[in-house]
C-alpha cells in the first residue's frame, strides 16, 4: 500500500514535470514574420550592394561576438520578441539558400537597413517594403505550400502567426528631411496611406495579426540631441498610425492590429534615464575609430547613426510584450494569445 502511494506521487510529479516542460517549450504563435529597416535587419543587407552594412566588429559584440549584420551590439527588437514568443530567431530571407527557404516554418526576416516605405527612401541597394512583401509572397506561394501540403493548414499557419512591421524612419531621414516638399501632416498621411496598401497585400495573403511600429523621436539622434523642430515634424506619424491601424482592423475582417508608440515612450527615458540604467543617453557607445564604451548597458545609443543598444531594445521589448505603456490597444502577449475573430 505504502509503495503504491509512493508510486502515485512519483507518477504525478513526473507527469506534471513532463507537461510543464512541453508547455514551456511550446511557442505562443506558429511564426513571426518580420518587415522593416535597420532596426530589424539581421543580415539581409550583407547580401546587397550597399554601404549600410554592419558585418564587422564590434557590431554583434554581445551576440556571441558575431557580426551577423544586426545594427546593434546584441539582439534586435525582433529577436527579443521572437524569444518571448518562444520561437527561434527568424533567419534573414537573403541568407537562406534555395532549399532552406521552404524548411523554415517559424518565420522569416525580410527587413533591410537604409530602406523605407517609399521606394525612393534609400541608400544604395536595399529591400524596400514592396520588395520585402514581394519576397514574402514568394515564400507563401512557392515555399510554404511544400511544407503544409493542405491549403487549410497553411491558411491556419498564416492567420495565427504574427507580422511585425517596423519601418518609416528612413522615409523621414533619407527623404522628407532632404526636401520637406509637403506639410508634416500631409506627409504623415501620405506615408500611412502607402503603408496601409502594403499591409492589405499581407492581409490578402492570409496575415491577420499585425504589430506596426511608429517612428521614434528622430530629432534625438546622437549628433543632434534633441532637435525639437524635427521631433514635431515626425510626431503626427505616431498619432495617425494609431488611428489608422484601428481603422484597418475594422475594415479588414478578422484582423487584429496593435501599434507601438515609441515616440511617446521615449519621453520617459529622456526624463529619467537613470531609472532605466542609462548614464548618458545622447552619447553613442561605439564611435568608429574613437571609442567603444566599457559598459554597454549604460548607453541608450549603440552607434552614432542613432541605432539603439540592446539594453534600450530590451526596455522596448519588455514593455511592448507584457507591459502597458508602448502598445495600443493591447500588448504583444495579449495579441499572441487572442483568438481570431
Ligand atoms: C571578438 O571578435 C573580435 C573581432 O573578430 C576579436 O578581435 C576579439 O578578440 C573577440 N573578442 C572575444 C572576447 O572573443
Ligand atoms: C525602386 O528604386 C530602385 C532604385 O532607384 C529602382 O531600381 C527600382 O526600379 C524602383 N522600383 C520601383 C517599383 O519603382
Ligand atoms: C522631393 O520631393 C519630390 C516631390 O514630392 C519627390 O518626388 C522626391 O523624391 C523628393 N526628393 C528627395 C531627394 O527626397
Ligand atoms: C532642426 O531641424 C530643423 C528641421 O529639419 C532644421 O531646419 C534645423 O536647422 C535644425 N536645427 C538644428 C540646431 O540642427
Ligand atoms: C553626455 O555626453 C555628451 C557627449 O560627450 C556630453 O556633451 C553631455 O554633457 C553628457 N551628458 C550627461 C548628462 O552626462
Least-confidence region, from 4-18, 28-42, 259-273, 294-308? 4-18
**Of 307, 309, 319, 320, catalytic:** 307
Asked if the structure places residue 48 within a domain, the reply is yes
* Contact by Cβ (8 Å): 81, 317: yes
* Structural domain total, the chain: 1
pLDDT in tens, 57-91: 999 999 999 999 999 999 999 999 999 999 999 99
Mean pLDDT for the stretch of residues 212-230: 93
- Which CATH number characterizes residue 190's domain? 3.40.50.1110
Interatomic CA distance for residues 96 and 105, integer angstroms:
13
Asked if the structure places residue 17 within a domain, the reply is no
* Contact by Cβ (8 Å): 116, 130: no
Position of cell 500500500?
Answer: 1
Asked if the structure places residue 114 within a domain, the reply is yes
Q: Is the pTM of this model over 0.85?
A: yes
Catalytic annotation present for 303: yes
How sure is the predictor about 1, in pLDDT bands with cuts at 50, 70 and 90? very low
Specify the long-range contacts of residues 322-330, CB closer than 8 Å, at least 24 apart.
322/84, 325/265, 325/268, 326/260, 326/261, 326/262, 326/265, 327/211, 327/258, 327/259, 327/260, 327/261, 328/242, 328/258, 328/259, 328/261, 329/246, 329/258, 330/258
Q: Which of 224, 226, 229, 231 to mutate to test the pocket of ligand 4 (most atoms within 8 A of CB)?
A: 229
Position of cell 556571441?
Answer: 64
Asked if the structure places residue 210 within a domain, the reply is yes
Mean pLDDT for the stretch of residues 45-54: 96
Asked if the structure places residue 187 within a domain, the reply is yes
Residue-range definition of the domain harbouring residue 120: 25-218+230-264
Cβ-Cβ contacts under 8 Å for 63 (sequence gap 6 or more) = 70, 73, 74, 75
What is the per-residue pLDDT for 341? Answer: 62
Asked if the structure places residue 329 within a domain, the reply is no
Distance between Cα 290 and ligand 1 center (Å): 18
Asked if the structure places residue 9 within a domain, the reply is no
pLDDT in tens, 240-288: 999 999 999 999 999 999 999 999 999 999 999 999 999 989 999 999 9
Catalytic annotation present for 139: no
What is the per-residue pLDDT for 178? Answer: 95
pLDDT in tens, 148-204: 989 999 999 999 999 999 999 999 999 999 989 999 999 999 999 999 999 999 999
Interatomic CA distance for residues 113 and 123, integer angstroms:
9
Catalytic annotation present for 38: yes
What is the maximum span of the chain, computed from C-alpha positions, in angstroms?
A: 86
Distance between Cα 217 and ligand 4 center (Å): 13
Asked if the structure places residue 327 within a domain, the reply is no
Interatomic CA distance for residues 258 and 338, integer angstroms:
12
Q: 112 vs 140, 166, 240, 287, 333, CA distance in Å?
A: 19, 11, 24, 22, 26
Interatomic CA distance for residues 30 and 60, integer angstroms:
27
Amino acid at each position: 500500500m505504502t509503495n503504491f502511494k509512493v508510486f502515485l506521487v512519483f507518477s504525478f510529479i513526473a507527469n506534471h514535470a513532463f507537461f510543464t516542460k512541453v508547455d514551456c517549450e511550446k511557442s505562443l504563435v506558429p511564426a513571426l514574420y518580420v518587415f522593416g529597416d535597420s532596426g530589424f535587419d539581421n543580415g539581409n543587407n550583407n547580401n546587397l550592394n550597399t554601404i549600410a552594412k554592419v558585418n564587422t566588429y564590434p557590431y554583434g559584440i554581445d551576440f556571441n561576438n558575431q557580426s551577423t549584420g544586426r545594427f546593434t551590439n546584441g539582439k534586435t527588437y525582433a529577436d527579443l520578441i521572437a524569444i518571448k514568443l518562444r520561437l527561434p530567431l527568424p533567419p534573414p530571407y537573403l541568407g537562406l539558400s534555395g532549399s532552406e527557404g521552404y524548411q523554415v516554418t517559424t518565420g522569416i526576416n525580410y527587413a533591410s537597413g537604409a530602406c523605407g516605405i517609399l521606394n525612393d527612401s534609400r541608400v544604395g541597394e536595399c529591400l524596400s517594403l514592396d520588395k520585402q512583401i514581394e519576397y514574402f509572397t514568394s515564400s507563401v506561394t512557392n515555399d510554404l505550400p511544400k511544407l503544409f501540403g493542405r491549403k487549410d493548414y497553411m491558411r491556419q499557419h498564416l492567420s495565427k502567426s504574427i507580422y511585425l512591421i517596423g519601418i518609416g524612419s528612413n522615409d523621414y531621414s533619407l527623404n522628407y528631411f532632404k526636401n520637406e516638399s509637403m506639410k508634416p501632416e500631409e506627409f504623415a498621411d501620405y506615408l500611412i496611406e502607402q503603408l496601409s496598401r502594403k499591409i492589405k497585400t499581407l492581409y490578402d495573403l492570409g496575415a491577420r495579426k499585425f504589430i506596426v511600429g511608429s517612428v521614434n523621436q528622430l530629432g534625438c539622434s546622437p549628433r543632434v540631441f534633441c532637435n525639437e523642430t524635427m521631433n514635431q515634424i515626425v510626431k503626427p506619424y505616431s498619432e495617425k498610425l494609431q488611428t489608422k491601424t484601428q481603422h484597418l482592423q475594422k475594415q479588414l475582417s478578422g484582423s487584429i492590429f496593435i501599434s507601438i508608440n515609441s515616440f511617446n515612450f521615449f519621453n520617459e527615458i529622456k526624463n529619467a534615464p537613470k531609472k532605466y540604467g542609462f548614464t548618458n543617453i545622447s552619447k553613442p557607445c561605439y564611435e568608429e575609430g574613437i571609442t567603444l564604451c566599457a559598459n554597454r548597458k549604460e548607453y541608450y545609443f549603440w552607434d552614432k547613426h542613432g541605432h539603439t543598444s540592446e539594453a534600450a531594445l530590451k526596455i522596448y521589448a519588455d514593455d511592448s510584450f507584457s507591459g502597458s505603456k508602448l502598445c495600443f490597444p493591447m500588448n504583444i502577449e495579449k495579441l499572441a494569445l487572442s483568438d481570431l475573430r
